[in-house]
Structure 1
């Protein structure tokens, strides 16, 4: 599609976003008492924001104009953050991570695939070169340390070598024969020209030849033009000028002339042309403000320090009208304090009456948002700069000088303001000393108010992991040590979409029956994207969205927990640190060594963010009972240090702690849930997912599907088995020898069933143990309490109806 298509898509999305913001101001800011109405409002807004998110991501990915991409990027980050805020409200309201969206999707005419979370491509694309260099550096370290084996070079057999030589020799002979035939052709042509020269030239033949060539050329042009007009009329191609423009843009992208264009700067020109005018204007404004403040207060104000913004604070806080209001407020406050003191003196003998608490249920109200202001600012910028812009004349998709000047003019003003502040501060001190006889903060005199000031206490105690324990070491040396110790591991290239699974409509219909909701596989993908990928990929989203520092993936063995960890790192472009108990066994013994290990991981992870710290089999660190052996003691120490590790992660640090467990019920629940903020329970695959998995992995392994392979039967027989079991069975059956025999001996269903029988499925008792454990978590308890409250409310309503019926009788 052309650039005009994505510009129109951006414009349509902006109009929808403006309507959505207007609706939020009208509905979400008003208290609501009907919980069902609130659920519907939130679910509708969630689906609509996801649709805008998908369109904005497509526009941002395909637009070439850098300033337009920056404008779309601002709104895109705002929409991502707003989705996370609405998700938090939905979880708080329903006390559950899974929501029934079928009714909303039908009402909005959407399909379940429309609520999949799109992953912005700029997460990886903008840092692709850095990520590739870092991956190559990590591989070099692992190869030098002997932790990574090079791919063995397979020796060529004698038959393969003869075949290669034969192909090369035949190609050489073909090229030689073609060159020889070309020489013969040119020689014959040369001889024919000599013969024509001897005979003499015929003017009629020459004219006929010219006419033939010219008429053919004209007819071809006419035919080509008619064909283009017909294709444009049918809507199957673009007009020639638009097509030429798109071709030019594609060429620019391929050559890097647009994506890696130099940053144009007009700062020097602005400083030369407008610098003196800006300086004089600032000095006049500051002087006028000082004079007006002295006229009202009777003295010159103190010059604000640089921490408060310098002269900016004067215009923000020291307007004459505001100064008068502040003085009046101070006088009233002093009077009220005096009256209170006088009233309290005789009233000490009387016992004060305890005020009666009034409980007012205002209903549900949307919490404060950090992203609505970002969305409103992006919408206003679009209306000012881009809404009425003529995009047809911008063939090269070049920069707009006025937009660059507007940004840089503010930077020039800030630079000049700093210089003006230094000059005006000295002038103010001189005027104060000459007029009022005061000496400023540079003098030796101090005001009376300084006597009452108390010195603050000692320095705030800094946590162990927040101190810099390695000030003399570089990030490269720490990176190398972590890689050599096996704590920094390479990421497998796995996308979140590779985690195959489909919606189970039957399970969604049964969610209202009172059973503990378990997320389906598509919902697992959504939760992983919302809590893991989106905050790690965007700095603005991570700083302003509801902060999630830790995530736990719990489920039976083989459901894809490790695959999801690698998918988070792949989609967000993150480093992967592994402090799995089996990985750190025998390394960094003792508490001080563990603190040093966590400090190095935290320092490298913050410097090279985003980063994921993975703890596999995390239940071993929180196991019940006394620890046996030095390794178990070390694991328990690490579990006690994890809360301190999470406190050291600030909103600006894109570092996520991810734990995976297949036996969470053997761990102490209290400290376990304190470490992990979000818990995602991963189920075994359903029938439709198993059908898709069998088909996908058989084809991926090189197998051919015939009538002898009954996928329906395989999906039915493999009920209770996980994705890992299916992958293992396919790899076991589709060996190299079996693939060679497939032409004369097709695959059969019995081969897979026989191999599947060697594995143990996930029994119902294990599923019930997971559900019982999840019911004891904070969110599970909240959901149970909400269900009990609902049942109690229904019982009261039924009781009232019964009493009314008896009274009527």
Structure 2
């Protein structure tokens, strides 16, 4: 992206952000709306605005290279994303559902539900440390000189081996050609490949014996096999020319010319028809007569991997240059300004001494180091001469008076604290009363948001600091040196003031001593209160059972055992599903949705869970459970999550872990150590209900499926800290067969709904056009999707792959595809017929999900209260 476009984009985003801040400031002052629909409208509009803002800011952050500006944009992105998640949580609480439908706000902004999915951006990826990334990748991203030389030597060895192999193959090829030529015509080709004779002269003496004994052997070689078909070759005479029949030659030439003409004619006809067909199709699309029926997958702000790494390298270089500039500037300031700064500080303190002596005849107590020393003088937090004079005229307080004063201040402080506590409790009760009545205090929710406050302060500081700086002129992304100088001067001044205070305290005591001598009073040195060093709490360091092992060896051990798996790269576009477009229009009298979610709405839930796995501090669950019938896309979603996060994939399914039954403690220690070192990491458990099975089937006893279950809470979830990018991901097709511990082990449960018409239509359209695009333009996708709507996405995918194989695609032009072929594949081509999931099975999933999801529980309580009120009215 060009510098000009990025600058314009930043200017436009700043305007949008300022408009959003003004809008929020107006909303902070409004009274709590009595209509819950109005509160929902306000929050939904803000949510859509924040989605657009996060998308824009994340894109700007990725393309901002100036170090000081990038720090500002980072704060804005993180705060905006935190507020986005807070608004989403508010909307969920109002909807009493995991799924939020805000179609009216989207229509006003001319957006679709797909535009709300922001988890596509590489800006949210978490960057691993360099050492860990080099272990994961064969080609190291950053290398020192020694590593570069080693890599160059290894590459040269590979090149040498490749050249030797190519030469060997070439020699073998030439030998095969030579041998076949000899077999074909010995006399002719022996002359061609015969070596040139070297002429030399020698003398022969008949009486002289040979110095080297030579055994003369006569070879008779015949490479032609004894076969009757080779008689003509044995007796052939190459000097005899075959008779030429001119009529035969003319006849053969005519046949060849006719064949060539016919082939060319058919080829030109085919090419002309194809060009005409393409032009006709283009005209029909241009005039709006016909549209190509194919899924268009938008990819907002897509960046190639090469461009991303190029930007990362540039940022790394600019960061290193910025750190070097800070170090150089600090050294320069210490060398050039330190003596003068110390002199200025001491002169200022002496002037403070003189001022108090002239006006009061005494010296102000020297500020203690525990109160940052004479910094208090600079910020005017010491007593004025008049205040100090009043303290001199007063009699010194006795111990009892001091004690009473301390108790009085303590009581006042306690009283103020209790008053604030009562006010907070009163405010909380007021908001709870409003919430019970279905009223949301929008003003309080916005004014109490720390994320909004951070955005406002950052934008205000940016407007002040950057008002005299033209960002457009800085196309080389150079840091602003004046700011570096100011910051380092402030740090050096703080450090030097502590040193000067120590010397000036000696001078202060000498002055006090001289004053006491002049006034003939007793001199008593002032006590110095220094800050006590903070005692670091000794934390219990857990025993590392693999302290003598390197991360590389632990990683290779898990990989060789099949615990760490390589996941095929998938993205969210491969999870083909449509969104629910009717839920917002089918609300009941309480403004609650009555239609369940569509399969595409799952992407929103995954986005909420995955945003915290990036580089920003955003809340996220420690564990997720995907439930749904077989072939509903649970494994595909797991692969997508791992691919989008670029995560290390640990497979902890019972098939993998049963062999560690003897030393499970060591195994989990290694897994968590490697997962934390190489985060982001995913700990995957396939069919997680097996960990808490009520009754183990006889065929599963061998792998001991309950082995990992007791260790999930203590050994896996508890060690995962708030900032760790580690998540436990499980799938299940029979969650009801497990004990209640399964619900406690997974914080977030996501139910994959059955296929709806929109999802089924997109599946058939996308999969069939991918396999045979030109022959499926006018196919009856709608009818096919309507009839086979209830089938799972995995069943449809395998059906299309099996039905539209290579042989069937070759016959499509002459033998059009019959929809009954897909139905036949479902019912007869497999060993056991495939049917859609039973309605009772889906009810079972919905019932179990309702008991494990907090919003479903809240909705049931709300409906129970409503029914109780209706009964009372009757």
**TM superposition score category, shorter chain reference:** 0.5 to 0.7
CA separation in 2, counterparts of 1:293 and 1:674?
A: 69
Of 369, 377, 389, the residue aligned with 1:303 is 369
Q: Secondary structure at the match of 1:88?
A: helix
Aligned position for 2:554:
478
Aligned position for 1:266:
325
CA separation in 1, counterparts of 2:130 and 2:12?
A: 33
Aligned position for 1:658:
729
Query: Residues 235-284 of structure 1, C-alpha deviation per residue, up to 9 Å, x if partnerless?
Result: xxxxxxxxxxxxxxx9x979987885562443324542464255556677
Of 372, 385, 400, the residue aligned with 2:452 is 372
Root mean square deviation, CA, Å: 4.9
CA separation in 1, counterparts of 2:118 and 2:494?
A: 45
Q: Does 1:21 align with 2:21?
A: yes
CA separation in 1, counterparts of 2:664 and 2:525?
A: 62
Within 5 Å, give how 1:367-446 maps onto structure 2.
Answer: 368-384=448-464, 390=470, 393-394=473-474, 397-402=475-480, 404-407=481-484, 409-411=486-488, 413-414=490-491, 417-418=494-495, 421=498, 424=501, 436-437=524-525
Contact 1:253-1:259 at 8 Å conserved across structures: no
After TM superposition, the structure 1 stretch with the greater mean CA deviation from structure 2, 102-111 or 483-492, is: 102-111
Aligned position for 1:149:
none
Within 5 Å, give how 1:239-388 maps onto structure 2.
Answer: 260=317, 263-264=321-322, 265-267=324-326, 268-273=328-333, 275-276=337-338, 302-304=368-370, 319-320=381-382, 334-335=407-408, 360=430, 361=432, 363=434, 364=440, 365-366=444-445, 368-384=448-464
Using the size of structure 1 for normalisation, the TM-score is 0.68
Within 5 Å, give how 1:178-197 maps onto structure 2.
Answer: none
Q: Does 1:724 align with 2:794?
A: yes
CA separation in 2, counterparts of 1:575 and 1:312?
A: 54
Q: Secondary structure at the match of 2:729?
A: strand
CA separation in 2, counterparts of 1:289 and 1:656?
A: 60
Query: Residues 430-461 of structure 1, C-alpha deviation per residue, up to 9 Å, x if partnerless?
Result: 97899754776899xx9xxxxxxxx99x9666
Q: 1:667 to 1:424 in 2, by over 3 A?
A: farther
Of 699, 706, 710, the residue aligned with 2:776 is 706
CA separation in 1, counterparts of 2:530 and 2:582?
A: 77
Aligned position for 1:599:
669
The structural deviation recorded for 1:470 is 2.7
The structural deviation recorded for 1:332 is 5.4
Q: Secondary structure at the match of 1:46?
A: helix
Q: 1:725 to 1:285 in 2, by over 3 A?
A: farther
Q: 1:775 to 1:315 in 2, by over 3 A?
A: farther
The structural deviation recorded for 1:370 is 4.2
- Report which of the two structures shows the higher radius of gyration computed on alpha carbons: 2
CA separation in 1, counterparts of 2:507 and 2:697?
A: 73
Contact 2:67-2:479 at 8 Å conserved across structures: no
Q: Secondary structure at the match of 1:266?
A: helix
Q: 1:795 to 1:558 in 2, by over 3 A?
A: same
Within 5 Å, give how 1:156-171 maps onto structure 2.
Answer: none
Of 748, 758, 770, the residue aligned with 2:845 is 770
Q: 1:272 to 1:781 in 2, by over 3 A?
A: same
Q: 1:110 to 1:282 in 2, by over 3 A?
A: farther
Contact 1:293-1:299 at 8 Å conserved across structures: no
Q: Secondary structure at the match of 1:10?
A: helix
Q: Does 1:487 align with 2:563?
A: yes
Using the size of structure 2 for normalisation, the TM-score is 0.63
Contact 2:668-2:715 at 8 Å conserved across structures: no
CA separation in 2, counterparts of 1:331 and 1:256?
A: 65
Aligned position for 2:661:
589
CA separation in 2, counterparts of 1:468 and 1:30?
A: 57
Q: Does 1:549 align with 2:622?
A: yes
Q: Secondary structure at the match of 2:731?
A: strand
CA separation in 2, counterparts of 1:521 and 1:37?
A: 29
CA separation in 1, counterparts of 2:669 and 2:29?
A: 43
The number of residue pairs the alignment matches comes to: 645
Unaligned runs of 5+ in 1: 140-160, 166-249, 342-354, 447-454, 800-809
Query: Residues 689-714 of structure 1, C-alpha deviation per residue, up to 9 Å, x if partnerless?
Result: 11111122223345653368432232
The structural deviation recorded for 1:47 is 0.7
Within 5 Å, give how 1:499-518 maps onto structure 2.
Answer: 499-512=575-588, 518=596
Unaligned runs of 5+ in 2: 141-172, 178-306, 389-396, 415-424, 435-439, 514-522, 828-832
Aligned position for 2:96:
95
CA separation in 2, counterparts of 1:418 and 1:300?
A: 18
Aligned position for 2:44:
43
CA separation in 2, counterparts of 1:76 and 1:702?
A: 43
CA separation in 2, counterparts of 1:781 and 1:794?
A: 20
Q: 1:737 to 1:379 in 2, by over 3 A?
A: same
CA separation in 1, counterparts of 2:766 and 2:836?
A: 21
Within 5 Å, give how 1:60-209 maps onto structure 2.
Answer: 60-62=61-63, 68-124=69-125, 133-137=134-138
After TM superposition, the structure 1 stretch with the greater mean CA deviation from structure 2, 770-779 or 378-387, is: 378-387
CA separation in 2, counterparts of 1:428 and 1:567?
A: 66
Q: Secondary structure at the match of 2:650?
A: strand
